[in-house]
Structure 1
Amino acid sequence: MNHRASRAGHTAWCGRDHRCNLGEHRSEEIVVDIAGRARAVLVRVRTTTGREHAEVRVRVALAPGEVAARRQLVGLLDDLRHTVTRAAIAARPRPGRTR
């Protein structure tokens, strides 16, 4: 099966269960778990308009001290900004190439 919608309207990656609601299709969760430290969950989503998105939830244990926790948050935000920017740039078509 290809990545396009099947006859039932689901994609090949769609979870085909309660995750699909109101016409939206959602993949199974991909989980990265570092026990006691961090957890990230990624879900691929196709909206009713056909637009696809990556939905990412991240939970990171913060240091008990305020200064260290703020330093972690600044680093996390900087890393997220870089990751989101890189993903957005990768989605743009390259000059002289067709999709």
Structure 2
Amino acid sequence: MSRRPGEHPEWCAGGHRCGFGEHRAQPVTLDAPGLGRVVLTRVQGSDGREHAEVRLTVALASAEPVARQQLVALTNDLDTVLSRAGYASARPARRVA
């Protein structure tokens, strides 16, 4: 869908969130008390491409060996998430009846 210059997509939060040719949605925050937080924001760059910006905060164990294990597991899980997201974006869109 094409828009006139200066128009925001319908999902765009507008205001101070947009700048430098970007459009940003209102962030969605998921809290898991004691575990961490995820903040997800839909963004359209100045080149027109869209992406999801994900900020993740994870509570780490105080014991160094356990914290390192958590980080390794997190890295592996994030690799899986990126692979799935890339696969989903490469597939043709499905029609919903």
TM surpasses 0.5: yes
> Residue 62 of structure 1 aligns to which amino acid in structure 2?
L
- Larger helix proportion of the pair: 2
SS of aligned partner of 1:18: helix
Please give the TM-score of this superposition, normalised by the length of structure 1: 0.85
| Structure 2: gaps spanning 5 or more residues | none
Please give the TM-score of this superposition, normalised by the length of structure 2: 0.87
> Residue 58 of structure 1 aligns to which amino acid in structure 2?
L
> Residue 51 of structure 2 aligns to which amino acid in structure 1?
H
- In the alignment, is the contact (CA less than 8 A) between 1:5 and 1:12 conserved in 2? no
Aligned length: 94
Q: Which moved more, 1:63-72 or 1:27-36?
A: 27-36
> Share of identical aligned residues, percent?
46
Partner of 1:61: 59
Aligned pairs for 1:1-99 (under 5 A) are 4=1, 8-94=6-92
SS of aligned partner of 1:31: strand
- 1:40-91 Cα deviation digits (max 9, x unpaired): 1000000111000100000001000011000100111111000011000111
* 4+ residue runs over 2 A deviation: 4-8
